[in-house]
Amino acid sequence: MNDHQPAHHHAEHHGAHDHHGGHEHQAVPSDLALRVKALESLLVDKGLVDPAGLDALVDMYEHKIGPRNGARVVARAWVDSAYKKRLLTDGTAAIAELGYGGTQGEHMRVVENTPAVHNLIVCTLCSCYPWSVLGLPPVWYKSAAYRSRAVIDPRGVLREFGLELADNVEVRVWDSTAELRYLVLPERPAHSEHLSEDELAALVTRDAMVGVATVTIPPAAVQS
Ligand code: FE
């Protein structure tokens, strides 16, 4: 099952922590980011692109299209215990089974939420994010406030997201790098036994897979 001595895990009482090799801290926008920005400005100036349309497109990839891959991974793990075991043992391979994978050679590790453990993902140095399963990172994920406070005060950060954890729940904060990125396997909601894999996937949000939310079942979907 899951390894409970994770090398990259920051217990919440640890203030300082190390980052891992090959992870480039970029204080200025990367060459690619600048080129994208320049291209966008040019297209807008020429009247070829509507900036509001671009924002809507980014929003769609951030909230709708991207995270659907991760949601399918989570739902499969909930309904197929053998898949779940493979997912927690070798996330990269199990995610690739469903057809999702990176092209930059990064590895995926899936960390499981339980009644006793809640996992939270951050990239303290920049914005490493499991984009192959979650799409584009949200703005808050890249913010300095989230990156620093997720490690120093994870419970406070979760509270701001509306998630109040009981004192007896251990919080584990995982620092993503260019080589190793994390996905949270949220807890399957109670009273969801009658839902299909597709119906379960529809409940799984991006925020739950980053660890700033839990998956809930709408009252209307609870079978009476
Ligand atoms: Fe990063």
Q: Could you read off the pLDDT of 114-128 as tens digits, one per residue?
A: 999 999 999 999 889
Closest listed residue to residue 223, CA positions, set 199, 204, 202: 199
Q: Which two tokens stand for residue 113?
A: 């939420």
Per-residue pLDDT at 210: 97
The answer to whether the beta carbons of residues 112 and 42 sit under 8 Å apart is: no
Catalytic one among 41, 127, 132, 224?
127
Q: How far is CA 203 from the centre of its chain?
A: 15
Per-residue pLDDT at 218: 86
127 is catalytic: yes
Does residue 17 form part of some domain?
no
CATH number, domain at 146? Answer: 3.90.330.10
Does residue 25 form part of some domain?
no
Pairing mode, strands 117-122 and 170-175: parallel
The rounded mean pLDDT for the chain is: 84
Does residue 163 form part of some domain?
yes
Q: Which two tokens stand for residue 122?
A: 């951050």
- Residue 19 CB-density burial (10 A; 0-12 exposed, 13-18 middle, 19+ buried): middle
The answer to whether the beta carbons of residues 85 and 1 sit under 8 Å apart is: yes
128 is catalytic: yes
148 is catalytic: no
Ramachandran region, residue 57 (left: φ > 0; alpha: ψ -120 to 50; beta: rest): alpha
Domain count, the chain: 1
SS3 state at 63 = helix
- pLDDT higher than 60, residue 9: no
Calculate mean pLDDT across residues 73-101.
95
- pLDDT higher than 80, residue 30: no
pTM (2 d.p.): 0.77
Domain that holds residue 90: 30-221
Does residue 185 form part of some domain?
yes
* Distance in Å, CA 9 to ligand 1 centroid: 15
Per-residue pLDDT at 223: 66
Does residue 169 form part of some domain?
yes
- Residue 128 CB-density burial (10 A; 0-12 exposed, 13-18 middle, 19+ buried): buried
Does residue 11 form part of some domain?
no
Q: What are phi and psi of 191, to 5 degrees?
A: 65, 30
- pLDDT higher than 50, residue 18: no
* Distance in Å, CA 68 to ligand 1 centroid: 22
* Distance in Å, CA 142 to ligand 1 centroid: 9
SS3 state at 129 = coil
Calculate mean pLDDT across residues 68-89.
97
Per-residue pLDDT at 52: 83
224 is catalytic: no
* Distance in Å, CA 134 to ligand 1 centroid: 15
Does residue 15 form part of some domain?
no
